[in-house]
Amino acid sequence: MSKLIHSPSLATANGWRNYRLLDTGAGMKMERWGDVTLVRPDPQVIWPQKRAVWTNWDGYYHRSERGGGKWEFRKKLPESWHLDYEPLGLRFRISPTSFKHTGLFPEQAVNWEWSSKLVKKARAAGREISVLNLFGYTGGATCAAAKAGATVCHVDAADGMVKWCRENAELSGLGDAPIRFIVDDCLKFVRREIRRGRHYDAIIMDPPTYGRGSGGEMWKLDQNLWELLSECGKVLSDDPLFFLINAYTARLSPTVVTNLLADLMEPHGGTVTGGEVGLPVEADDKVLPCGVYGRWEK
């Protein structure tokens, strides 16, 4: 039976050298991405802006009342540039997208560190580790696991995100690493892996609140998450290493995620923990919450 620890913790990403969360307030955050300063909306920032109006920025994303928004740039920026996460030897392509994202969630470095440590420990003991990364986006977790020595299967329904992951792998010196890049609906892919008899020692997932698969399949978190988790349980090896769920939706609390993992992983024993991931704010020592996580490990 899995040991469930009911003490949610805050995991803060403090390892960045060339990413900085400079300030927050009034629904916005100001960040430094290498040499570029961007201001973007953030729904968690409901506290007031205490300091003077921000003026020293290169790009500002203006939210539209009709939904979406657009960037305003004060100078011509490169189409993309690179950002290093030095503690793990990773490099990522950064590019402001039309939907305000940059192609990287820097708070996830805390989960990369956690999973990398477990993979490295297993590899040092002579064990081969296979990792399945579902809803893998541009592949931060994929690159971290591969860098640690795992074989990784990266799955996302968006072809552009999978191509971006492949580029990040190349930038991180993982061009020849054993990574499978799959464009597919995650639930359908897992079910095919079950039929093929494939198994994985670790699973990472970052499910959206809503989404569509590569064939237009509708995904709703509250209706489909347990269904997906149940299928994932069938592709786990007999001696799994870890299971990580990360989520940005307000519909999931750390307790909900840990309860789900405790039920799923009960046959394997181990320990389940959960909490929030966050980024330190330089201006006033706040921490910006950036989602919840649940972790199971043997």
| Segment 34-64, tens digit of pLDDT | 999 999 999 999 999 988 789 999 999 999 8
For residues 206-211, average pLDDT? 85
pLDDT at 128: 98
pLDDT at 40: 97
pLDDT at 8: 67
pLDDT at 7: 63
pLDDT at 267: 96
Task: Indicate if the pLDDT at residue 91 is higher than 80.
Answer: yes
Average pLDDT, the chain: 94
Q: How confident is the model at residue 262 (pLDDT cuts 50, 70, 90)?
A: very high
User: What are the tens digits of pLDDT across the range 113-153?
Assistant: 999 999 999 999 999 999 999 999 999 999 999 999 999 99
Task: Indicate if the pLDDT at residue 211 is higher than 90.
Answer: no
Burial grade of 158 (CB within 10 A; 0-12, 13-18, 19 or more): middle
Strand ranges, E, within the chain: 3-4, 9-12, 19-25, 28-33, 36-41, 59-63, 69-73, 81-85, 90-94, 130-134, 151-156, 179-183, 202-205, 210-212, 218-220, 242-247, 271-280, 287-297
Task: Indicate if the pLDDT at residue 107 is higher than 80.
Answer: yes
Task: Indicate if the pLDDT at residue 213 is higher than 70.
Answer: no
pLDDT at 251: 72
pLDDT at 70: 95
Task: Indicate if the pLDDT at residue 238 is higher than 80.
Answer: yes
What is the dihedral angle through the alpha carbons of 32, 38, 44, 45, rounded to the nearest 10 degrees? 90
Contact 161, 181 (CB under 8 A): no
Contact 182, 121 (CB under 8 A): no
